[in-house]
Structure 1
């Protein structure tokens, strides 16, 4: 479908252009590739004998289809977990042979994420793509949003939310746009250090859960970001607690053996060697070393380059319909977002201990790999949220420990 629509989008969108085979990663490697019904039918009508045989061998109906316009069919990856239609230089044989009209909506759209909120379409980029990650995370300027008429093109909708629906009347979702806008405002307040901003975001959403829906706008208008930030004080001992907690998370998820990402496996091995934890006694004995490493890394790399993490969070908030990104409970969205950031930092500090150095380029590369391997793995996400809820970690005390 091709039509012009009113669209809201981050200004960085206009800078993005896929670099194809020059990309150091590839969105056609390691991920299941879904095919919409319209494209699926095209594949099985081609007359080119070579491509016809490839389609018959590698493109099948998806028995777990959830939406015919999204995942009616699926491409079977080869043993190297590559799309069989990639050539030796990582270019698409289908597009080269038949043109862009024969590319599925998923392949055409990525790394763009498209949502619809009320009457507006919203589009942004997914930092699982290396080139998108460089554009999103690498800019020292705050992410700003524009509105104009754009061609929708061939698309797949990620999320649809009508805040005016009767089912959301007298619920916080009715005020989704105001809540999300203020959440972004908190995260872009550069008068505060990054941990303080994350603390305030949690405090804001935690308090908001108890506010009557008809008073939400008033609450937002009176909420003082910088006053609330004064209640936050970083506890150094929490860094040692995080080492223990996230070491157990990495072990329980068995990332070294279970992840489909060879790069994430390598990073995991580096961080485990960096922390050098054989048992819980090691954490107690080495806690001062861990605290020093976290404090040094936070000061030299995170606070000095806080725009990277600010842009990651703001982009996440926008493209995941935050804070309703996990459920109708706003604080669940917050605690999972904080978990992602804190797990990233755990990795970054472990790599820093192992390598003795870091750089902006290496940070951007790691975040892209992390997003692709962890954020796009629904099993990881569901396991983590279930673990948090089962252990009653969905509260501000646990959030303070993660900060």
Structure 2
């Protein structure tokens, strides 16, 4: 009998149910599908001749394996970039023939993400699933968390953190829960516009880097979110600077040619046509147009639908053990989170210029595509963080430009 464990999770998790073949997307397409070692061995022992042929052709040992319980094997996608084990109705033929026990831990768990912090488990949903994205971003309510005891079943751990470990005794990681909770509190402060919340989050974590670990709790208790927000004032010229900077990033990543996601490539082509930048002179010449587009989009879509972006941030923070999501330096986690948001907004505004309109449904669809294509790219984060550090952009002045 499986043992129940303590799980803390966002209340939206209770609403999620996979819609299977009815889904207009599939989680079995467009990215690597990992197979744990136990399941890999099961697959190569099946006696069904039809399935045996597909398995031997498509499922191989992963030469880049990092954890045998996670990615010992890998499923090679077919020409349509789909899992070869899907049937004509987009259902998993492995599950259909042999039952749920034959799903790898990744396939059985997705889009649920599981971490362990100290003695309890934390679970939330990955927004790269469109049904999960609709639930997370579609609700205008703040994300709240609850606790219960549940059986985990077959699972893969995304992250494990024991804040009580002696190695963290004199580090901010010891106070991870307090720091993360306060970060969520900042992002859910609806008295502030969204850019102000992001600014305050950066200021909070930037200052926290210099605080002695034994004074972190005191610093948090005295930090005044709304007073600090008054020191931030948006500079419209930063929008034009963002267009130039982020356009160069999109070009350097060669998303149009290198990204596996057909949808993101399509969006990228539309966005680049919308901005219509051939060289840096175009940014200077068209800066008023870009600034007006950003300001109009921010007022009409971002602020009026700030719950979408708030819930994106809160879900990311909880999902990725933020602010230690990139390294032991909290500001690294912040600057990459801010970069993600700025890149999302760059795309949304570019699409808006191209199409002349937008909608809540289209925003949610795009964010889901972005999460699936960009955030799950294993090289993406390291390349961007390396670029930011090489150019000394890991500071609040650069953060203000991205806001």
TM-score where L is the length of structure 2: 0.99
User: Partners in 2 of 1:62 and 1:240 — Cα distance?
Assistant: 44
Q: Does 1:69 align with 2:69?
A: yes
User: Partners in 1 of 2:280 and 2:139 — Cα distance?
Assistant: 40
What residue is the counterpart of 1:387 in the other structure? 387
Which stretch shifts more, 69-78 or 291-300?
Answer: 69-78
Q: Does structure 2 conserve the Cα–Cα contact (< 8 Å) formed by 1:114 and 1:122?
A: yes
What residue is the counterpart of 1:32 in the other structure? 32
- Report how many residues are paired: 403
SS at match of 1:66: coil
User: Partners in 2 of 1:250 and 1:2 — Cα distance?
Assistant: 47
User: Partners in 1 of 2:339 and 2:46 — Cα distance?
Assistant: 47
CA-to-aligned-CA distance 1:122-152 (integer Å, 9 cap, x gap): 0000000000000011100000000110111
Alignment of 1:9-20 (within 5 A): 9-20=9-20
CA-to-aligned-CA distance 1:10-64 (integer Å, 9 cap, x gap): 0000100111111111111111111111111111221211112221221111222
Q: Does structure 2 conserve the Cα–Cα contact (< 8 Å) formed by 1:2 and 1:154?
A: no
User: Partners in 2 of 1:263 and 1:239 — Cα distance?
Assistant: 25
What residue is the counterpart of 2:113 in the other structure? 113
What residue is the counterpart of 1:85 in the other structure? 85
What residue is the counterpart of 2:238 in the other structure? 238
Structure 1 residue 270: deviation in Å?
A: 0.5
What residue is the counterpart of 1:336 in the other structure? 336
User: Partners in 2 of 1:274 and 1:333 — Cα distance?
Assistant: 30
Structure 1 residue 3: deviation in Å?
A: 2.5
CA-to-aligned-CA distance 1:228-283 (integer Å, 9 cap, x gap): 00000000000000000011001111000000001000100011010011111111
Q: Does 1:197 align with 2:197?
A: yes
SS at match of 1:378: coil
What residue is the counterpart of 2:94 in the other structure? 94
SS at match of 1:278: coil
What residue is the counterpart of 1:223 in the other structure? 223
SS at match of 2:69: coil
SS at match of 1:9: strand
Runs of 4+ in 1 over 2 A off after TM superposition: none
Structure 1 residue 87: deviation in Å?
A: 1.1
Structure 1 residue 356: deviation in Å?
A: 0.3
What residue is the counterpart of 1:4 in the other structure? 4
User: Partners in 2 of 1:393 and 1:378 — Cα distance?
Assistant: 22
Structure 1 residue 175: deviation in Å?
A: 0.2
Structure 1 residue 2: deviation in Å?
A: 3.7
Q: Does 1:147 align with 2:142?
A: no
User: Partners in 1 of 2:62 and 2:254 — Cα distance?
Assistant: 28
Q: Does 1:272 align with 2:272?
A: yes
Alignment of 1:250-261 (within 5 A): 250-261=250-261
SS at match of 2:337: helix
Alignment of 1:124-163 (within 5 A): 124-163=124-163
Structure 1 residue 185: deviation in Å?
A: 0.2
CA-to-aligned-CA distance 1:51-81 (integer Å, 9 cap, x gap): 1222122111122222111111111111221
SS at match of 2:278: coil
User: Partners in 2 of 1:373 and 1:47 — Cα distance?
Assistant: 36
User: Partners in 1 of 2:336 and 2:2 — Cα distance?
Assistant: 36
User: Partners in 2 of 1:18 and 1:275 — Cα distance?
Assistant: 37
Gaps of 5+ in 2: none
SS at match of 2:379: helix
User: Partners in 1 of 2:330 and 2:2 — Cα distance?
Assistant: 35
CA-to-aligned-CA distance 1:170-207 (integer Å, 9 cap, x gap): 10000000000000000000000000000000000000
Which stretch shifts more, 309-318 or 83-92?
Answer: 83-92
User: Partners in 2 of 1:402 and 1:75 — Cα distance?
Assistant: 38
